[in-house]
Amino acid sequence: MYIDTHVHLNADQYDEDVDEVITRALDAGVTKMVVIGFDRKTINRAMELAERYPFIYAVVGWHPVDAIDCTEEDLEWIESLAAHPKVVGIGETGLDYHWDKSPKDVQQEVFRKQIQLAKKVNLPIIIHNRDATADVVRILKEEKAETTGGIMHCFGGSVETAKECIAMNFMISLGGPVTFKNAKTPKEVATEIPLDKLLIETDAPYLTPHPYRGKRNEPVYVKLVAEEIANLKGLPVEAIAKATTENALKTFNINE
């Protein structure tokens, strides 16, 4: 059994065949999927999927790339959705300095507001970090995010940064990049970080694992992430599946 803790089944790439994609995942032992909404359109779609399928859950928040578009009304709406029984987290939020659509100060303000919101509604916060590690860690510390904790989504930082995040009550989630042949750092993280602090995800339709890199990703491929971690840790894949499933249920407070 596997749980894909971060998937975008609400993306346009699945408009034609989302039911088939979900069926393939279930047939491969992916028993639960957490769909991430990060703007008005994707949040609405995430909620629809969570209400349609008993094994799909939603996370709602605002993406840092689009922080400049986020209004107080949007944040109030996200807060209202947090009361829904199928909403299990706030995000994905964080900082993304790769793209320049939203100025850094705007991203940081919207990030802080969502940490505060997560604390208010007592849900874990799902962190997106691209080229902004120092500021992400600093803001998490300043906002005392450890009171709710959460997930460092598709973690790409160093072992040292991973340990710093774990100390703040965050789980380390690994996706497709850990399977890439030249991905030295994610492989080090998978090897060094304790199994009780790890989650697995696909971030589908993005970051497709080897050997399907370059094609559309699907939640069925989360097993490939688990297999690579098992290989790196010298453990049977069943041990990775069991531990990461238990970790996900605990992190999202999902009762089986």
What pLDDT digit, counting tens, does each position of 25-36 carry? 999 999 999 999
Q: What local confidence, expressed as pLDDT, does residue 231 receive?
A: 98
Residue 256 clears pLDDT 90, i.e. is over it: no
CATH top class, domain 2-251: alpha beta
What confidence tens digit (pLDDT) does each residue in 156-194 have? 999 999 999 999 999 999 999 999 999 999 999 999 999
Question: What percent of the chain has a predicted confidence (pLDDT) above 90?
Answer: 99
Residues with Cβ within 8 Å of residue 253, at least 6 apart in sequence: 88
Considering only CA atoms, which of 41, 82, 87 is closest in space to residue 63?
41
Which band of pLDDT confidence, cut at 50, 70 and 90, is reported for residue 93? Answer: very high
Domain segments of the chain: what residues?
2-251
pLDDT of residue 14: 98
pLDDT of residue 204: 98
* Cα–Cα dist 182/232, whole Å: 14
